[in-house]
Amino acid sequence: MFENLSERLSGVFDRLTKQGALSEEDVKTALREVRVALLEADVSLPVARDFVRAVQDKATGQAVTKSVTPGQQVVKIVHDALVDVLRGAEDPGKLKIDNPPAPILMVGLQGGGKTTTTAKLAKRLKEREGKKVLMASLDVYRPAAMDQLAVLGAQIGVDTLPIVPGQKPVDIAKRARQQAMMGGYDVYMLDTAGRLHIDQVLMQEVEDVRNVVTPRETLLVVDGLTGQVAVEVAEEFDAKIGISGVVLTRMDGDGRGGAALSMRAVTGKPIRFVGLGEKMDALETFEPERIAGRILGM
């Protein structure tokens, strides 16, 4: 249904003569196709616009060697630029969870995959880094949300904070901190209820939680299939709560994952992990090259 960028560009460049360098007109023509490819991959419009402008400057005047076609040359320039944005200027290093007990706050829209990712990450920290992890659900709204986390905890052998019905999220967070300190945990993870970025009451609630525990990491969990709203969601969560990283879920689907570029571009925060399934092992570190290829349909 969607053509990939190479196909799109091969059509465009058939009409162009091979020259020594990419002219401004060549690049303009090609970048119109790039823009469409990005939008079809769900890159948010303002991000696609900025990206194309930056590539325009970079590509104009670049030499086309004999071994490649102008189309291939543009694809390469675009691909490399995508990888640059996705990777970011500096290496984010490891999660900042050294001082025990280190709180990790998980936030995001409804149904994005927070609870599942909380458990996956807990399992990873336990198995790969030998951390003693406590998980607590602050979701007092969604039916059986707390049970969900408790079941996952039992599956992966990670402790969950005992459920006390009727407690408020901030109080649960305090109890989690206390238990983490007394129980000698290295990390405590706070899974929160899904919330809309425009829901002032619920955004305030998670701000209050943040103020109480001062998380070492605040991870925004987003569905990799997210469309144009990605920019707004990332900006709002970052502005109100201050996120330190992003987890992109459902990348086992056939979505193109343009939200990754949007999130990275507007927040400047690293994409830490991608979710690749429902199983507890289906969490991998983020590879910019892979996502860049997907966005371009390659």
Partner 1 sequence: VVRRTLDDDMLEQLEELLIAADMGVDTALRVTANMAEGRMGRKLSTQEIKELLAQEITRIMEPVARPMPLYPKRPQVVLVVGVNGSGKTTTIGKLASQFKAAGKKVVIAAGDTFRAAAVEQLQVWGDRAGVPVLTAPEGSDPASLAFDAMTRAQADGADLLLIDTAGRLQNRADLMEELAKIVRVIRKKDDTAPHNTLLVLDATTGQNAISQVETFQKLADVSGLVMTKLDGTAKGGILVSLADRFGLPIHAIGVGEQIDDLAPFDPQDFAAALTGLDTQA
Ligand X SMILES: Nc1nc2c(ncn2[C@@H]2O[C@H](COP(=O)(O)OP(=O)(O)OP(=O)(O)O)[C@@H](O)[C@H]2O)c(=O)[nH]1
User: What number of CA atoms fall less than 13 Å from residue 254's CA on the CB side?
Assistant: 2
- Told to check if 1 binds partner 1 by CB under 8 A, we report yes
- Told to check if 109 binds partner 1 by CB under 8 A, we report yes
Question: Which does residue 44 touch among ligand X, partner 1, Mg ion, none (CB within 5 to 8 A, set by kind)?
Answer: partner 1
Using CA atoms of 266, 270, 274, 275 in order, give the dihedral in degrees to the nearest 10: -80
* Binding flags for partner 1, 53-92, as an x/- string (CB under 8 A): ----------------------------------------
Between residues 3 and 287, which has the closer beta carbon with respect to partner 1? 3
Residue 220: strand, helix, or coil: strand
CB of 173 to Mg ion, least distance (A): 15
Apex 263 CA angle, 277 and 261, nearest 5: 80
Closest by CA position to 87, among listed 266, 281, 265: 265
User: Under rule CB under 5 A, which residues in 98-137 are in contact with Mg ion?
Assistant: 114-115
- 266: tokens are 């507007």
- Told to check if 277 binds ligand X by CB under 6 A, we report yes
Residues 212 and 205: beta-carbon distance below 8 Å: no
Between helix 258-267 and helix 288-295 the angle, nearest 10°, is 120
CA distances from 196 to 33, 122, 143, 192, 274 (A): 33, 25, 17, 12, 21
- Told to check if 205 binds ligand X by CB under 6 A, we report no
Between residues 39 and 282, which has the closer beta carbon with respect to Mg ion? 282
- Told to check if 255 binds ligand X by CB under 6 A, we report no
- Told to check if 290 binds ligand X by CB under 6 A, we report no
- Told to check if 148 binds partner 1 by CB under 8 A, we report yes
In whole angstroms, give the CA distance from residue 230 to residue 43.
Answer: 8
Taking contact as CB under 6 A, which single stretch among the options 207-215, 257-265, 276-284, 286-294 is the one that binds ligand X? 276-284
- Told to check if 111 binds ligand X by CB under 6 A, we report yes
The CA R_g of the chain, rounded to the nearest whole Å, is 22
- Told to check if 114 binds ligand X by CB under 6 A, we report yes
CA distances from 233 to 44, 115, 179, 219, 254 (A): 11, 18, 32, 13, 22
- The binding site for ligand X (CB under 6 A) comprises 108, 110-116, 139, 142, 145, 193-194, 196, 249-250, 252, 275-278, 282
- The binding site for partner 1 (CB under 8 A) comprises 1-2, 36, 39-42, 44-45, 109-113, 141-145, 147-152, 155, 196-198, 223, 225-229, 232-233, 250, 252-256, 258-259, 278
- The binding site for Mg ion (CB under 5 A) comprises 114-115
